[in-house]
Amino acid sequence: MSITLVKRRVIPGFGLTIGFTLLYMGLVFLIPVGAFLLYTTTMSWEAFWSAVTQRQVVASYKLSFGGSLIAASINLVFGTLVAWVLVRYRFPGKRFVDALVDLPFALPTAVAGIALVTLYASTGWVGQYLDIFGIRVAYTQLGVVLALTYIGLPFVVRTVQPVLEDLETELEEASASLGADRLTTIRHVIFPALFPALLTGYALAFARALGEYGSVVFISGNLPFRTEITPLLIVAKAEQYDYHGAAAIGTVMLVAAFLMLLIINGLQWWASRRHG
């Protein structure tokens, strides 16, 4: 205790910085989020329940949660593959490819949205070839999954990549020298080491996809019961001044987001404990 007191005297500014941090967070988001949750509690339980269980809303949960699960799974497979290729292999333009992975993180979602729908519409660069096989992407649920995959792409790559970089090849050599073939080594040595990072990346990609709006609304076409995502319904209800309906659905999304945040924090804690 005395040591921390002495240190506090050496480095100044604790009161100032923590004060500003808490004040700013409080004003910008803690008080508004709290007030929003309080607003929801002014609704009666019946009104809340009927707002969150409307048929159109339930259809949107299925698409938003289902689509996000599928998109995160696609990212789990391809993101791990991309991370593996970037860490383990050499090929021309690798640095450029590595940098490009962050693009969905930096490119505005509205720009991504119009780019994706232009590419995958039945007249687009990719869509016209898919059309030959009868595959339609734009204005279908497939398009929603595509946009959600795009938006979650950096997360699995960027959580798996550093763990792969730190992985010592000596372990794999030891495994091989003990007679394991490559597949056995991957299954029993590499996979367990990556497992926490894989789960974290999956959860991050899922959480990001769940709340996504901008990149989806252009390619989805927003057909009721078929390609409407939950965030779209929140916007629609807010625009019609149905604040109760919007707030009720918003609360469901907020609770889902908090749960994901808890899960992600738990996963990171578990990963750092295993790692350390």
Partner 1 sequence: MITPSTVIDTNDTIAKRWRRATEEPVWIRITLITIALTFLTLFLVLPLTVVLYGAFEHGIGVWYAAVSDPDALSAIRLTLLIVAIVVPLNTLFGVAAAWSIAKFEFRGKSILISLIDMPFAISPVVVGLIFVILFGSQGWLGPWLSSNDMRIIFAVPGIVIVIAFGTLPFIARELIPLMQQQGKEEEEASLTLGANGWKTFWYVTLPNIKWGLIYGIILCNARAMGEFGAVAVVSGRIRGETNTMPLHIEVLYNEYMFTAAFAVSSLLTGLALVTIAIKSAVEWNDERRQRIAAA
Read off φ and ψ for residue 195, nearest 5 degrees: -50, -50
Judged by CB under 8 A, which stretch of 51-59, 79-87, 134-142, 194-202 contacts partner 1?
A: 79-87
| Burial category of 145 from C-beta neighbours within 10 Å (exposed 0-12, middle 13-18, buried 19 and up) | buried
Instruction: State yes or no: residue 131 binds partner 1 (CB under 8 A).
Output: no
Instruction: State yes or no: residue 212 binds partner 1 (CB under 8 A).
Output: yes
43, 69, 107, 193: which one binds partner 1 (CB under 8 A): 107
Q: Rounded to 10 degrees, what is the CA torsion of 239, 244, 247, 251? A: -150
The one-character DSSP state at 181 is -
Cβ closest to partner 1, residue 133 vs residue 241: 241
The one-character DSSP state at 154 is H
What is the separation of C-alpha 29 from the centre of its chain, rounded to a whole number of angstroms?
Answer: 20
Q: Looking at residues 144 to 203 of the shown chain, list those that interact with partner 1 (rule: CB under 8 A).
A: 149-150, 153, 169, 172-173, 176-177, 182, 185
Cβ closest to partner 1, residue 141 vs residue 185: 185
Residue whose tokens read 């040591």: 3
- Residue 48 CB partners (closer than 8 Å, separation 6+): 40, 248, 251
In angstroms, what is the minimal distance from the CB of 143 to partner 1? 13
Q: Looking at residues 218 to 237 of the shown chain, list those that interact with partner 1 (rule: CB under 8 A).
A: 218, 231-232, 234-235
Instruction: State yes or no: residue 247 binds partner 1 (CB under 8 A).
Output: yes
Instruction: State yes or no: residue 270 binds partner 1 (CB under 8 A).
Output: no
Judged by CB under 8 A, which stretch of 48-56, 91-99, 129-137, 192-200 contacts partner 1?
A: 91-99
59, 65, 118, 270: which one binds partner 1 (CB under 8 A): 118
Instruction: State yes or no: residue 276 binds partner 1 (CB under 8 A).
Output: no
Q: Tell me how far CA of residue 132 lies from CA of 62, 126, 128, in angstroms.
A: 29, 11, 7
In angstroms, what is the minimal distance from the CB of 117 to partner 1? 9
Closest by CA position to 67, among listed 238, 198, 226: 226
Judged by CB under 8 A, which stretch of 12-20, 49-57, 129-137, 191-199 contacts partner 1?
A: 12-20
Instruction: State yes or no: residue 100 binds partner 1 (CB under 8 A).
Output: yes
Q: Looking at residues 38 to 57 of the shown chain, list those that interact with partner 1 (rule: CB under 8 A).
A: 39
Token pair in block for residue 108? 């505005």
Size of the site for partner 1 (CB under 8 A): 92
Cβ closest to partner 1, residue 134 vs residue 179: 179
Instruction: State yes or no: residue 2 binds partner 1 (CB under 8 A).
Output: no
| Burial category of 7 from C-beta neighbours within 10 Å (exposed 0-12, middle 13-18, buried 19 and up) | exposed
Evaluate whether 210 touches 9 at the Cβ level (below 8 Å).
no
